[in-house]
Structure 1
Amino acid sequence: MAERISPPAALSNRALAGDAEAQFELAELYMQSEHDDDIILAEEWALKAADGGLVEAMYWLGEGYTVYAKELVEEDPAESKAHFELAYYWLSKANMKQHPAATLELANFYRRGDVIEKDVEKSISLVKQAAEWGEYQAMRDLAFIYENGLGTDVDEEKAALWTAKADALEQANS
C-alpha cells in the first residue's frame, strides 16, 4: 500500500488560513502520492486555490481534467464528458487571466470540438492569442497553421514571422 503524504504543519496552516499559493503547493504535494485519498486531497486543495484566484491552479486543474477525460473516453463516455466540461471551465477561467498555456489548450477544445461546438476560426484565434502572450508551442503551432493553410489561407510571411519569434524565444531560453 502506498505511503500517505504528511505535509509540513506550517504549509497546512497557511493553506487552512486561505493562502491560495499554499493551497496549490499542498495540491502538488498530494499529487505526488499514489494513495487514492491523497489524490482526492490534491484535487480539493487545487480547487480551493483556483477558487481563490490562483491562475496556475486553474490551468493545473484544466490540464488534469483534460488528461483524465481522454483516458476515460472509451471506457466511460459520460464521465469523460463531465471531466472535459470541468477542464473547459478551468481553462476558460485561466484564459481570462491571460495564461498562455491554458489558452493554447483551450484552442484545442475548439479544434477538436470537445464539449463545445467545433470552431476552427476560434481555435486559431486562441492559438494566436497564446503566441502573442509568449507561449512557445503556440508560436510553433501558429507558424505551422499559416505555412500549411490549416483553417486559414497559406501565409508564408506570417509563418516566417512566428517561426522567427519561436526561434528567438528558444534561443533566449537556451
Structure 2
Amino acid sequence: MSEVVSSTTEVWPVLIPALVGGVLTLAGSVIVPAVAHYFSVKSAHQAERRRRFEEMLAAAYEHEHWLELQKLAKVFGEGTVTGPAPINKAMAIALLHFRELVGPLRALDLASTQYQAWMSEAGFRRLNLQLDKVNDGFQVAYRKWGESFSDFQDAVTKFSEDRNGKV
C-alpha cells in the first residue's frame, strides 16, 4: 500500500503542470477570440461614428455653398438650384448620432431660413425693377447666417475636443 501512495504522490508533480497547461490552452482558445471580437467591434463602431461626424460636417459646408447658389439664382437670376438643402442631411445625422449638436444645427437652420427669406425679397425687388434696393438688408441677413455658422463650428470643435478627437 505504501507503494501505491508513493506512486500517487509522484504523479502530482507531473500532472499539475499538464493540467495547468490544459486549462490555460482552453481559456486562451475561448477568451482570446472573445476579447479580440470585442475590440474589433468597438473599433468598427468608432470608425463608423467618425465617418458620420465627417459626413455631418461636410453637409454643413455644402449647405454654405448651396446658399451661395441660392443667392445667385434668387437675387440675381443666374441659374437654378435643385435638390434639398444639405443642412437637412446634417440635421438627420445629428439627430441619430450627435444629439449634443442638434441645438447649434437648429440655430444654423433658422439663420439659413432667414437668409433665404432675404434672398426671396431681394429677388422680388429685382423683378419689380427696384434695382437700387436689391441689396437692402443683405448685411443683417448674412451676418446672422455667418454668426450662426461660426457658432456651429465652435460647437463642433468643442464637441470633438471634449472627447479628445474620438467623436
Structure 2 length as normaliser, TM-score? Answer: 0.28
More helix by share: 2
Greater relative contact order structure (CA < 8 Å, 6+ sep)? 2
So what's the TM-score if we normalise by structure 1? 0.28
